[in-house]
């Protein structure tokens, strides 16, 4: 367990701010595309 925690602390400084911003931008884009394709009325067809 100590070894895994030590590896985590070695890995964390390699993640910089730009990587996090890119990940959030991709997540926002995916959620936008999913939201754009969602039906607004639940798919009920009224005549």
Q: Give domain status of residue 22, yes or no.
A: yes
Q: Give domain status of residue 47, yes or no.
A: no
SS3 15: coil
The structural domain count of the chain equals 1
Q: Give domain status of residue 24, yes or no.
A: yes
Q: Give domain status of residue 46, yes or no.
A: no
Its pTM stands at: 0.52
Q: Give domain status of residue 13, yes or no.
A: yes
Query: In order along the chain (47 residues), what is the average pLDDT of each group of 10 residues?
Result: 78 79 95 80 61
Dig out the tokens for 17 from the structure: 């701010």
Amino acid 45: pLDDT: 64
Q: Give domain status of residue 43, yes or no.
A: no
Amino acid 9: pLDDT: 73
Cβ-count burial 1-40 (b if 16+ within 10 Å, e if not):
eeeeeeeeeeeeeeeeeeeeeeeeeeeeeeeeeeeeeeee
Q: Look up the domain containing 30 and give its range.
A: 2-36
Residue with tokens 């367990």: 1
């Amino acid at each position: 367990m100590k070894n895994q925690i030590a590896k985590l602390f070695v890995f964390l400084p390699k993640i910089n701010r730009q990587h996090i911003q890119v990940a959030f931008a991709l997540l926002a884009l995916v959620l936008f595309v999913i939201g754009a394709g969602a039906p607004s009325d639940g798919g009920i067809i009224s005549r």
